[in-house]
């Protein structure tokens, strides 16, 4: 069974193992692992993934100008493939969220079915995402952002193309963690105002490819103790020249 199936079924051993991993992870509470989806669902999502030229992809010119190289998104479920919609709804199901609460210790989690700022994400050659801490509050649903779940969908990703998700220290002088965006790997991590992350180096993949991910965010009515209670937008940072790269790299 896939991890998704096990979590939806409330499998005790899986939840217990992931709880230990999450709480004992270096630098920030998180899990990076593989096989969230089963093979059939993985192939289904890839088969339904729109081509990079598809007009369903949306891109904010404001974000490109400031801190994000060309990053394409499809946030509306109805604009995704039918089977992809069904799979993503499982990530917003009560059963799955109940397991996330047990793993993270964050109670009363709610999903954002509108997938604001998330959904299917496609970063083509030249794109990037500067180091940042996420916005803390989504005004439409009046809740604080508490967890990010990112599933990577890249079948043959070369490390020379960049694109690793990186975590940085608070003054952005040191890279702490680096994870590759390989097929059906996933990253679950705690969101707060010093959880700086991104993929700041330009993607160098071939012209007809891009970095693929599925981004799902979870919220509560209460803010994290490391989050400002006053709403703020994304906190962008410029990384400093590192004297040495001591990051834990996972290949």
Task: Label residue 244 by pLDDT band (50, 70, 90).
Answer: very low
- Please state which architecture CATH assigns to domain 3-249: Sandwich (2.60)
Considering only residues 67 and 84, tell me which one the structure prediction assigns the higher pLDDT. 84
Query: pLDDT of 90-101, one tens digit each?
Result: 999 999 999 999
Distance from C-alpha of 182 to C-alpha of 154, rounded to nearest angstrom = 5
| Residues 106 and 144: beta-carbon distance below 8 Å | no
**Distance between CA 122 and CA 33 in Å, rounded?**
21
Q: What percent of the chain has pLDDT over 90?
A: 86
Of 197, 171, 181, nearest to 29 by C-alpha is: 197
CA distance 184 to 215: 13
What confidence score (pLDDT) does residue 239 get? 72
Beta strands in 172-232 (DSSP E): 175-179, 185-190, 196-199, 210-220
pLDDT in tens, 174-192: 999 999 999 999 999 999 9
* Nearest-angstrom CA–CA distance, 174 and 241: 9
Distance CA 220, CA 226 (A): 14
pLDDT of res. 197:
97
Query: Mutual orientation of helices 39-48 and 82-91 as an angle, nearest 10°?
Result: 130
The predicted structure's pLDDT at residue 62: 47
Strand residues in the chain grouped as ranges (E): 30-34, 72-74, 110-111, 119-124, 129-133, 137-138, 143-152, 165-168, 175-179, 185-190, 196-199, 210-220, 235-236, 248-249
pLDDT digits (tens, 9 = 90+) for 15-70: 999 999 999 999 999 999 999 999 999 999 999 999 988 999 988 654 444 556 67
Residue 10 has pLDDT above 60, yes or no: yes
Selected residue with higher pLDDT from 243 and 123: 123
The CA distances from residue 188 to 31, 34, 124, 141, 142, in Å, are 5, 11, 23, 22, 22
Per-residue pLDDT band for 251 (boundaries 50, 70, 90) equals very low
Q: What is the mean pLDDT of the chain?
A: 92
The total of other beta-carbon atoms located within 10 Å of residue 170's CB is: 12
Q: What digits encode the pLDDT tens for the residues 135-175?
A: 999 999 999 999 999 999 999 999 999 999 999 999 999 99
Contact assessment for residue 8 and residue 94, using Cβ atoms and an 8 Å cutoff: no
How high is the pLDDT of residue 177? 97
Is pLDDT at 247 greater than 70 in this prediction?
no
**In the chain, where are the structural domains located?**
3-249
């Amino acid at each position: 069974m896939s991890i998704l199936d096990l979590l939806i079924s409330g499998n005790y051993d899986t939840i217990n193992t992931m709880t230990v991993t999450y709480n004992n992870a270096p630098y920030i509470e998180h899990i990076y692992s593989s096989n969230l989806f089963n093979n059939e669902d993985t192939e289904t999502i890839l088969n339904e993934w729109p081509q990079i030229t598809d007009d369903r992809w949306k891109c904010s010119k404001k974000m490109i100008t400031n801190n994000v190289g060309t990053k394409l998104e499809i946030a509306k479920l109805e604009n995704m493939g039918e089977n992809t919609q069904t799979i993503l709804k499982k990530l917003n199901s009560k059963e799955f969220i109940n397991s996330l609460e047990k793993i993270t210790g964050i109670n009363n989690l709610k999903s954002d079915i509108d997938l604001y700022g998330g959904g299917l994400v496609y970063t083509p050659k030249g794109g990037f995402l500067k180091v940042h801490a996420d916005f803390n509050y989504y005004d439409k649903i009046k809740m604080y952002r508490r967890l990010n779940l990112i599933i990577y969908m890249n079948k043959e990703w070369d490390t020379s193309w960049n694109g690793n998700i990186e975590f940085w220290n608070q003054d952005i002088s040191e890279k702490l963690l680096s994870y590759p965006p390989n097929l059906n790997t996933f990253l679950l991590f705690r969101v707060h105002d010093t959880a700086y992350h991104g993929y700041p180096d330009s993607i160098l993949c071939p012209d007809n490819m891009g970095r693929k991910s599925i981004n799902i965010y979870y919220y509560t009515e209460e803010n994290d103790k490391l989050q400002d209670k006053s709403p703020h937008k994304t906190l962008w940072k410029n990384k400093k020249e590192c004297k040495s790269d001591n990051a834990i790299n996972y290949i």
